[in-house]
Structure 1
Amino acid sequence: MNKRRVLVVDDEANMRRVLEIMLSRRGYRTLSAEDGRQALAMAQAHPVDLVISDLRMPGMNGIELLRELRAAGNDLPLIIITAQGSIESAVEAMRLGACDYLLRPFDNEALDLAIGRVFAVHEMQQQNQFLRGEVDRGWDGLVGTGAAMQRVRQQIAQVAPTRASVLLTGETGTGKEVVARAIHRASPRGEGLFVPINCAAIPADILESELFGHEKGAFTGALKDRVGKFELAQGGTVFLDEITEMPIALQAKLLRVLQEGVIERLGGNTPIELDLRVIAATNRVPRQAVREGLMREDLYYRLNVFSIELPPLRDRLEDLAALVRHFLDGLHRGARPHPGITTQALEYLQQYRWPGNIRELGNMVERANILSGGGPLDLAHFPLDEAGTDALPNAPDSATLPASLDLEAAVQDLEMRMIGEALAQSGGNKTRAAQLLRISERSIWYKLKKYRLGANAE
C-alpha cells in the first residue's frame, strides 16, 4: 500500500467521495474535510503528504487555507481544484505557493499527472537540500597506484556492479567513506543519492529516527513527519559508518530491514519498501567486535557478503608523494600551482608511523602549507615530534616478549594495564579515559565489566 496520505477538501460531499475513491484505487490513504478550517485542523493533527482543495468554499476557501498553512510554517504541497471561470484565482494561488491546479471536470489521467508532478518536485527538493550539504562537505577521490591500492581498486570493480552489501574495515582515517563513494559511483545506482551516516556521531536516542524517519507526534518534539536516511536513499546507497557503535537493539531492527527490504517510520505502522544498497564500515576487527558484544553476529554475516580491508598508510608509503600532491592540489584549487614538497621532507614523512593515516596526513599537509608561506613544504613545516613517535617502531627484541606465547592472555593483560593507566591519567573519568584510549565510552564500560576492574567488579 502507498505510504502517502492525501487530504481532500471540498464543501460538496459527492466531490469528496469521488476523489477519495479515485485516490484509494491508486493506493493512497485519504482524509477529507468540508472546508478550509476543518482541513487546517486535520493537517495539524495527522501526518499528511498532499492537500487537494477546492478553490471556492464557504468559511475558509482554498487560498485562505494555503495562507494559513504557510503562516504556520507548514510546507505541505497543495493542489487547487477550480472551475473554468476561476483560472485567474488558481494562478494567484500558485503564486502564493500552490503546486498545481485541476480544472473541473477532470479525469483519472489529469489527477495522476498532477499528483505525479507534485511528488516529483517535492522529492527533488528534499534531495537537493541533502545534496547541498554533501557538496559543502566535499570529498576526495581514490589516490595511489601502489600494490595495496590496486587490490582495493580491483575489489571495487568486482563488487560495484552487483547488489551485494559491502563491509569496509580498516583503521581510522584510511578512507573508508571514499571507497564507499567509489563503489556507489561505479554501480548501477550511481545516479542515485549516496547517503552517509556516522553511527558513532549521533546519540543513540536520535539515531533510529535519523535512519528510519518518524511520523508527526511519534515522540516529544516530533512536530512534523521526517523522512529518514533509508527512505531518502531510495534508488541509491546508504553508508553506515562505524556500524559497531550502533546500539545492539537498533542493530536488530537494522537486520530486519536488510532481510525484508522494508522499513516503518517511528510512530507509523505502514511498511515502506526499499530499493537501495547498504555499505557499512568499522575501524574495529569485526569478529572481535562480535565477541565483545558490540556487534550482532547475524548482522555481521548479513553485511559481510563482500568485505574490503583498507590498508593503513604505513603499509602504502609508496603512495605518500601522490597523496601529498593530491592534498596540495585541493588546497591550491583555482590558484597558482603549488610549490610542492622537498625531497628531505618527503623522506622524513616516510619514517613516521601515521596513527591517524590519510586523515592525519591531510591535516598535516594543510598545516605545513600555512607555515610554508607559499614556498615548498620543508622539514621545518612538519613538527612530527609534537604528534607522536616520529619513527616506525623496531621489531621487539625477544627478551621483551612475555614468557608465555599465549596471545589472547597477553592481549588481555595489555588491555587491563592500558585501561588502568588511562583511568589514572584521567583521574577516574571514564569518558576521558575512553578518549585517551581512542575507543567509545560504551566500549570502556564493557571492558571494565569484562575484566572486573574497580567499581565494575561486582
Structure 2
Amino acid sequence: MQASNSVLVCESDQERAKQLETVLGFIGQQFNVCNTDELSALASNADKVVLISKQLEDVQSIIAKHPHCPFLTVGEGSIVEVLPNLIGHLDLPFNYEQLTQLLHHCDAYLTHLPGKASPAKSERLRQNLIGKGIAIQEVRHLIEQVATKEANVLILGESGTGKEVVAKAIHDHSVRSEGPFVPINCGAIPPDLLESELFGHEKGAFTGAFAMRKGRFELAEGGTLFLDEIGDMPMPMQVKLLRVLQERQFERVGGSKAITANVRVVAATHRQLERMIEQEKFREDLYYRLNVFPIEMPSLRERQDDIPLLLQELVNRHEDEHSAVVRFTQRAVESLMQHQWPGNVRELSNLVERLLILHPDQIVDVNDLPPKYRHIDAETFEPNYSPELAERDALLAIFSDEDASVFSDPSPEALFPDGEQDQELDEEGWGTVQQLPDEGVNLKELLADLEVDLIRQALEQQDGVVARAAEQLGMRRTTLVEKMRKYGLNKDS
C-alpha cells in the first residue's frame, strides 16, 4: 500500500533508521531519509508523511511548524501537547501491519485538509445548489443564516436530495472553512467499530489495535464533522455522542484522558426521527441536541421546474469524465419533468451519465429516454400508408401471432391448418369457415368491438401514453391515433 507520494524519515538512531527503511521498502512505499535541517525544505514543497524521532531536540515545535504534514513519532520520549497533525506512534520492534495502518490514517489526514481533495470530489462537494424554485431558495437562505453561527444543524430529506452538499456549503461559508470537513456515514460502519471511528482508540484497546489512532472527532479538530445517516446510529452510541455534544469532551477507546472537541457537528438523515423516538429507536434528548437548526431538503418531484437547470449542470459536470456531451429536446425535458424521481437528484445524475454513454454528442429526444422516463408522446417521422395498408396493420396488431399469420400468409392452408375447409373452393382456392352461425355475424362490428377493447386496455396499462400503447399493440403511433379518432377514444377513455 502506498499511502502518499513520499515519506520523510527523520531519525537520529542509525539502527532504527535502517529498520524503518527496510519496512518501508517492503510495503513499496517511497521514502527519503533526512535530518532536521533538510526536513523544513523537503516538507514545505509538498504534503508529506514524516516519521520523526521523539529523541530529536525540540521535536514538538517541529511538528507544530508543519501543520500540513501528518507526523508519526518513533522511539522513546514524550510529547506533552496534543497536536492535530500528530497521527500516532510507531512502537519497537516495527511491524508491517502497524505501519500500513498508520500510513493509511496519515493519508486520510491529507485528504481531509482544506483544498486537498481530488478535483472531481472537491468540485462535487462545493457545487452550488442549482435551482430557482422557492424551495431551494429557502434552503440557500437557511444556509446563509446558520453558516456563521456555531449551532448544530440537522439536515432532513430523502436519499439523493443533496444533504451532504448542504453540509459542505455550511462548512465553506463558516468561520471554520479553513479547517477540515470530515464526513462519516453512521449506517455504513459496523456498530462495534463506530465508537473507534468516531473517538479513536489507544494501542491495545482491542484485538487489532496495534497503535494509537485518532478518530473523526480529532481529525475534524477546528472544522466540521458531518454525521450522515444519524438515524442509523445504534442506541449505545447515541448515549456517547450526546455526552460529547453536551460536554465537548471525549476519551479514546481504551483511554482515560479527556480530549476537548473543538468541532462543529452537522447531522443528516432520511428517516423520520420523531417517529423513531415514539418507537424508542432514537433518543429524544439527542434529537433536540442535534435539531437546533433544522434544514429540510425538498425532493426533486417538489422542484421539477429546476430540472432543466439541473440537467445542464449535470451534463457539464460529467462532460470531461465521459469526453462527450448531450443536448435535450424540449419534449424530452418536458417528459423528464413529469417523472416522480424516487431517487431524486442522484437518480437524475445517473440518468445523465447513462445517456452520455448511450448517445454521446447527440440530441436526446423522448424516444431516446429509457421507457420509464417517457411520459409524453414523441413526434416521429412515419411514411404515409394507404388506408388499405393501415387497416391491415391494425388487424395484425389485434390478433395473436398465430392469428396474424393468416394475414401475412393468406392461403387456404394458413386459414385452415387442420384441414377444416369447404369442399367447394372458388377459383382462388378459398373456402368458408364451417362453424359460422346460421344467422350469420356482422364481422365489421365484431372486429371493431374487439379493436376498441384492446386499444382501451393498452392505453390503460400504459397510463395514457399513446406511443407506448401503440408499441404494445404492435402498430405505428399514427395508426393508433387514427383508430382512436375513428372510435372517439382519448387517453382518458
Which category describes the TM-score, using the shorter chain as reference length?
0.5 to 0.7
1:128 is aligned, of 110, 113, 126, to 110
Q: Which residue of 1 aligns with 2:300?
A: 313
What displacement does 1:340 show? Answer: 1.9
Cα distance between partner residues in 2 of 1:334 and 1:178? 20
| Equivalent residue, structure 2, for 1:267 | 254
Could you list the per-position Cα deviations for residues 90-128 of structure 1 after superposition, in whole angstroms to 9, with x for gaps in the alignment? x9xxxx97648999xx7xxx5653353367632295521
So what's the TM-score if we normalise by structure 2?
0.58
Match of 1:116 in 2: 64
Pick the aligned partner of 1:297 from 281, 284, 293: 284
The residue aligned with 1:191 is 178
- 2:163 matches 1:163: no
d(CA) in 2 for partners of 1:255 and 1:166? 14
Unpaired runs of 5+ in structure 2? Answer: 1-8, 42-48, 71-84, 87-105, 377-493
* 2:315 partner amino acid: L
2:240 counterpart residue number: 253
Report the secondary structure of 2:266's partner residue: strand
**Maintained 8 Å contact 1:176/1:281:** yes
**Aligned AA (2:161):** T
1:404 is aligned to: none
- The aligned residue for residue 65 of structure 1 is 16
**What amino acid maps onto 1:359 in structure 2?**
R
User: 1:282 aligns to what?
Assistant: 269
- How far residue 173 of structure 1 moved from its aligned partner, in angstroms, is 0.8
SS at match of 1:172: coil
Per the TM alignment, residue 141 of structure 1 is displaced from its structure 2 partner at its CA by 3.2
Secondary structure of the residue aligned to 1:332 is helix
Q: Pick which of 252-261 and 333-342 moved more.
A: 333-342
Deviation at 1:184, TM superposition (A): 0.5
- Say if 1:366 and 1:192 are closer, same or farther in 2 by CA, change over 3 A: same
CA separation of 1:236 and 1:118: change in aligned 2, threshold 3 A: closer
- After superposition, residues 17-36 of structure 1 pair within 5 angstroms as none
Aligned residues: 315
Deviations 1:355-397 (Å, cap 9, x if unpaired)?
1111111111111222213202222332242x8x969xxxxxx
Q: CA deviation at 1:294?
A: 2.4
Q: Counterpart of 1:65 in structure 2: which amino acid?
A: R
In structure 2, C-alpha distance between the alignment counterparts of 1:128 and 1:98, rounded to whole Å? 15
Q: 1:197 to 1:271 in 2, by over 3 A?
A: same
3-state SS in 2 of match to 1:121: coil
Please tell me whether the aligned partners of residues 324 and 365 of structure 1 are also in contact (alpha carbons under 8 angstroms): yes
Q: In percent, how many aligned pairs have the same letter?
A: 44
1:128 corresponds to which letter in structure 2? L
Q: Distance in 2 between matches of 1:193 and 1:219?
A: 28
The reply on whether 1:378 has 2:365 as its aligned counterpart is: yes
Tell me what 2:438 maps to.
none
The AA in structure 1 aligned to 2:295 is: I
| Alpha-carbon distance in 2 for matches of 1:249, 1:101 | 38
User: What are the superposed Cα offsets for residues 416-448 of structure 1, whole Å, 9 maximum, x if unpaired?
Assistant: xxxxxxxxxxxxxxxxxxxxxxxxxxxxxxxxx
Question: CA 1:162 to 1:98, structure 2 compared with 1: closer, same or farther past 3 Å?
Answer: closer
Q: How many angstroms apart in 2 are the aligned matches of 1:244 and 1:97?
A: 38
Secondary structure in structure 1 of the residue aligned to 2:328: coil
The equivalent of 2:319 in structure 1 is 332
**TM-score, L = length of structure 1:** 0.62
Change (3 A) 1:280 1:233: same
- How big is the shift at 1:210? 1.1
Q: Distance in 2 between matches of 1:80 and 1:346?
A: 63
5 Å-filtered alignment, 1:336-415, equals 338-385=325-372
Q: Which amino acid aligns with 2:69?
A: V
The question of whether the paired residues in 2 share the 8 Å contact of 1:79 and 1:101 is answered with no
Aligned to 1:380, the other structure's residue is in SS state helix
CA distance in 2: counterparts of 1:230 and 1:288, whole angstroms: 28
Tell me the C-alpha RMSD between the 2 structures.
3.5
Distance 1:70 1:222, change over 3 A: farther
- CA change 1:135–1:215 in 2 (3 A) is farther
